[in-house]
Structure 1
Amino acid sequence: MRTQTTWRTVLTVLAYSYVVGLFGWALLYNIVGDSWWWLFLINSLAIYLFLPLLLLPIIILVTRHHVLWLGFGVGSLLWLSFYGFFLPHTPPVRAEGRTLSVMTYNLLRHNLDTPEILDAIRAADADVVALQELNGTTAAAITNDLRGEYPYQLLEPGADTSGMGIISRYPLQSITDMNLTKGLPDGWVGPPQLVEVMFFKTRVTLLNVHAQSTNLGYGGNVRLNPANIEESVRIREEQMHALLEVVAQRPGPLLLVGDLNTGYPSRAYDIIAEVLHDAWHEAGQGAGHTFPGAALPGSSRPRVFGIPLPQWLIRIDYIFYSDHWQALDARIGPWDEQSDHRPVVAELMLLTR
């Protein structure tokens, strides 16, 4: 009898502590965002904070502390406010307009398995493909082997992680207006590509970005440097604000895609989502996690005591779009099994006005 009472007491204390902790996290996130390094890490994995919520009804029945139902209810509302898009939803009613499919894919600069990369791009069958960490070997293969499917190519390979590229079935043209790009800060993993896609008779602005990363060991054992983490968060938020300044100067149809190196929820994400729409939130199903993937040499998949963390913990690759579009579908694209990212593909309809 005493043992049962002890266990009930322990469960009760744990349950109340969990509810208070969950509410405390939500309050801190809304007040300070990612300003503290440890809070940034928690925010990046916030989806997992809600897993114990599934056990709360059982604990309530065992402990008979019915006031915890209030905590369960409010916790469920919190989950819905952050992750309600996980729930199955009917496809959006199709408006009138032409459809454009877009893919973003961080290839991993050390990835030299070009046949698998090309197969993944072909299988995705997107009209426009934005690439990050594009190396020279892959760029040459794309030029030689995909010119028929993607006749319009703007490839800027790099010897390090800075390589960027866009290939398209529709005409592409770089936007060289320095007034648009002069305000972009430093710190990008790869320099943003700003282009126009001639989609039938409509000029579509496309931004392909690879934002500041947070160094947690870059494929080795996790190493936490609080100052560096907080600095990377600050730089990334500055980059998001700068991107919106570019967006504000391009009033027509616009797409912003790429590896933002920030999870959901995060302040960097919120900055973009205040103006643009997240295709995954609007038309995707499930978590849509894109990182970390393969644990090959050069991968950023973290390790703990030499053991790689589980795959696909967070979502850091995005397709955002302006009000001129409607998202019809968003999905994880074919993976080449070599990159530490998975691609994201979205089907977007350009609305007639």
Structure 2
Amino acid sequence: MKVVRLIFLIAHLGILFLLLGTLMNAYVPPKVYPWFNLLSLGFPVLIIAYIVLTIFWIFLWKKRAVAFILLGLLFLNPIKRWVNFSSDKKAGSDLKIVSFNAKGGTLGYENIERYINTQDADIVLLQEHGNMKGYHLKGFNEGKGDDIISVFSKYKIVDQKELIESNSETNNAYANQTDIEIKGSIYRFINVYLQPFKFEKNMVKLKGNSDEDEQKVKDVVKRLIPTFKMHQEQVASIRKGIDDSPYPVILVGDFNSVPNSYEYYHLGKGLKDAFVESGRGSATSFHDYKFPIRIDYVFTSDSILPLSYEVDRSVRISDHYPVIATFKLKK
């Protein structure tokens, strides 16, 4: 039994070390050391294993359980970025937005259009929408867009500017800022689609063949590391739109990055994660894989109060679920 406990202790310490590595994404960019960002992908598995082993020490009445419980508090906020149970906010809503990766409209423009028209949203921000001419949204002003990102608003669009524009076959990231006047005040909406990893299911599904699976893992890592480094440059361009904004900011989109990643920490710096502030349950938004993945986000400036955040799992009109959020706009 002592040997088993020693093995479990070593494993527990190893998991703790890896979890601490995910926190380093707030400080270490991928171009310096990309492996911390790689760890963020495994955070759900790592934290579950950490909790299970902590419970194991509790049942054995070991003093080390106290140390692991206290160290586990370091990961309370990182856990809330995946799963959260915030209390209901009673304030009345001033603004409702829908953010949605539409997968190029491949599951039907009419299905997406019908869904959005039933939401009675004020602002709709789409990623991978496919073709702007394919959508006919009732009562919306249509902002400038392309085949990847677009914005529709029931309020006056004051100005728009590209923050990232795809310019080659290797750079497929997009971002733009749209200044919208709402009830006499201007707000900056930044719609983001970071560089995708372009994975197909067969590329990440392991088959139990050690040699073939090992090669698949190597191929996945070869795609991940360069993309992380590209994200670092794209994040810097988007941050300029945030940092230079004279208006309160609402940042939304498909970051193609999970919580606790470099992208999450640095795009969300100085902003509030609307899910952490007002979400309940799981924030998993990409459902094409069985593994829980949250890559769609809504962040806001301090002057904007998130009231609710919902990942709408009632529809499957894309490989992403729509994200719906409401806000109180402080005067």
- Short-chain TM bin: 0.7 to 0.9
Counterparts of 1:197-208 in structure 2, within 5 Å, are 197-208=180-191
SS in 2 for 1:286: strand
Name 2:20's counterpart in structure 1.
27
1:220 equivalent to 2:202? Answer yes
Distance 1:60 1:331, change over 3 A: same
- What is the TM-score of this pair, normalised by structure 1? 0.78
Q: Which runs of 5+ in 1 are unaligned?
A: 1-7, 294-308
Counterparts of 1:122-201 in structure 2, within 5 Å, are 122-136=117-131, 139-143=132-136, 146=137, 149-154=138-143, 156-158=145-147, 163-176=148-161, 181=163, 189-201=172-184
Paired letter, 2:76: L
Name 1:347's counterpart in structure 2.
326
User: Alpha-carbon deviation of 1:173?
Assistant: 4.0
Counterparts of 1:69-148 in structure 2, within 5 Å, are 69-84=65-80, 86-92=83-89, 94=91, 99-109=94-104, 111-136=106-131, 139-143=132-136, 146=137
Larger mean CA deviation between 339-348 and 15-24 belongs to: 15-24
Larger mean CA deviation between 167-176 and 236-245 belongs to: 167-176
Name 1:59's counterpart in structure 2.
56
Distance 1:115 1:183, change over 3 A: closer
Q: Which runs of 5+ in 2 are unaligned?
A: 205-215
Distance 1:208 1:29, change over 3 A: same
1:277 equivalent to 2:272? Answer yes
User: Alpha-carbon deviation of 1:246?
Assistant: 1.4
Distance 2:154 2:313 in 1: 19
User: Alpha-carbon deviation of 1:103?
Assistant: 1.4
Which structure would you say has the larger Rg?
1
User: Alpha-carbon deviation of 1:182?
Assistant: 8.2
Name 1:300's counterpart in structure 2.
none
Distance 1:244 1:37, change over 3 A: closer
**Deviation per residue, 1:12-65 (Å, 9 max, x gap):** 134212321122113323446574555433312302212134433553366x46
Please, which of 310, 319, 339 is the counterpart of residue 290 of structure 2?
A: 310
Distance 1:244 1:210 in 2: 14
Name 1:263's counterpart in structure 2.
258
8 Å Cα contact 2:164-2:173 kept in structure 1: no
Distance 2:13 2:77 in 1: 18
Task: Quote the RMSD (CA, aligned, Å).
Answer: 2.9
8 Å Cα contact 1:290-1:343 kept in structure 2: yes
User: Alpha-carbon deviation of 1:212?
Assistant: 1.2
User: Alpha-carbon deviation of 1:122?
Assistant: 2.8
* Number of corresponding residues: 312
Distance 1:191 1:31, change over 3 A: closer
Distance 1:166 1:60, change over 3 A: same
User: Alpha-carbon deviation of 1:232?
Assistant: 0.9
Distance 2:63 2:239 in 1: 45
8 Å Cα contact 1:124-1:334 kept in structure 2: no
**Deviation per residue, 1:140-197 (Å, 9 max, x gap):** 3422xx2xx3330126343xxxx22111211224424xxx848999865353222121
**Deviation per residue, 1:289-347 (Å, 9 max, x gap):** 11133xxxxxxxxxxxxxxx416x11111111112211111111355414111111111
Distance 1:117 1:336, change over 3 A: farther
**Deviation per residue, 1:256-290 (Å, 9 max, x gap):** 11101110110111012222211111111123111
SS in 2 for 1:135: coil
- Identity fraction in percent: 21
Distance 1:190 1:59, change over 3 A: closer
User: Alpha-carbon deviation of 1:70?
Assistant: 2.9
Distance 1:114 1:87, change over 3 A: closer
Larger mean CA deviation between 46-55 and 235-244 belongs to: 46-55
Paired letter, 2:154: R
1:47 equivalent to 2:41? Answer no
**Deviation per residue, 1:100-120 (Å, 9 max, x gap):** 111110000251422321232
Distance 1:119 1:226, change over 3 A: same
